[in-house]
Amino acid sequence: MITEKIQNMIIELAQECEKEDIGLSICAIDRKGNEESIGIAQVGTEGDVEASISYQIKEWEKMLEDCDCSHCSEKLALLNEVKNSEDTEVEEEEACQ
C-alpha cells in the first residue's frame, strides 16, 4: 500500500529537488490488492525528466540482463525490438528532411 508516509516522502523529495533545481522523475507502485496504486512526482525541465526516465530504463535493462529466467529474457528481447524499430523510425525521419 502506498501509505500516507510514502506519499509525503515523495512530495517532500520532489519539493526539495525543485528547491535545489534538480530534475526528478519518481514512481512508487503497489500492484497488490484490488486496485493498482501509484505515487508519482516529476519536477525539473522536460529534458531533466526525460533523462531521468531514460536512466531508469537503462537500470531496468541491466536488471533484465542480470537475470537468467526466461521471462526477463523475453522482456529484454522485446525491449531491443522496440529500440531497433525506434532507430529505423529516426532514420526515416532524417531521410525526409
Instruction: Tell me: does residue 72 bind Zn ion (CB under 5 A).
Output: yes
Choice from 1, 33, 69, 93 touching Zn ion (CB under 5 A): 69
Q: How far apart are CA 64 and CA 42, in angstroms?
A: 25
Rounded Cα gap, residues 43 and 24, in angstroms: 5
Distances in whole angstroms, Cα of residue 7 to Cα of each of 1, 49, 89: 10, 19, 38
Cβ 76 to Zn ion shortest distance, Å: 9
Q: Which of 38, 67, 77, 90 binds Zn ion (CB under 5 A)?
A: 67
Q: How far is the CB of 27 from Zn ion (least distance, A)?
A: 20
Span from 31-39, 51-59, 61-69, 77-85 in contact with Zn ion (CB under 5 A): 61-69
Close Cβ partners of 61 (under 8 Å, ≥ 6 residues apart): 76, 79
CB of residue 65 vs Zn ion: minimum separation in angstroms?
A: 10
Indicate the pairing of strand 37-43 with strand 24-30. antiparallel
Binding site for Zn ion (CB under 5 A): 67, 69, 72
